[in-house]
Amino acid sequence: MQTTPFHIDMGRLVEPINQDDHVRGPDSAPVTLVEYGDYQCPYCGQAYPIVEALLAERPDTVRFVFRHFPLTDLHPQAEIAAELAEAAGVRGQFWRAHGWLFTHQSQFDAQHLRGAAAEIDPSGGAERDLERRAYDDRIRRDFISGVRSGVNGTPTFFINGIRHDGGYSLPELLRAVDSA
């Protein structure tokens, strides 16, 4: 079978984990959990503390990767929120911004996002990055990799490269991770 550059594989992670990904947990972990998420999605907001609890319960077992999948038709501020996370990431603070975004979903107006950017980088660089949408290509790459992997909503999880079609309560994710 010949594949095109835009091959879609429903249920398998098409884009392998790479140096551009935001990763938590040991590289040697036997389980890799990838989330395609949208910072303005209420379901992703509900999943955030569950993933945090999972990582706390399985610190040596799970490596977690977050990829952007902003659903801008439903969540108009999701892309600028992803830009903030990327601006923070360039400054070594991706996970700090990631947590702030999920715990402040009601504060995605320009004033709050600029304030968060200024807190991350008092020199103003992160705020300038937001204004010029410096990480649009990076976010688009994540989104396209999600589409190619069959992602059509958020959150979507992959466990060791296979889409997890079960629920994402803590007991469900723990079972899935333990059986992987």
Provide the pLDDT confidence category of residue 3 given band limits of 50, 70 and 90. Answer: very low
Q: What is the DSSP code string of 35-103?
A: EEE-TT-HHHHHHHHHHHHHHHHSTTTEEEEEEE---TTT-TTHHHHHHHHHHHHHTT-HHHHHHHHHH
pLDDT digits (tens, 9 = 90+) for 114-132: 899 999 889 999 999 989 9
Domain ranges of the chain: 31-179
CATH of region 31-179: 3.40.30.10
pLDDT in the model for residue 120: 87
Mean pLDDT for the chain?
93
pTM of the shown model: 0.93
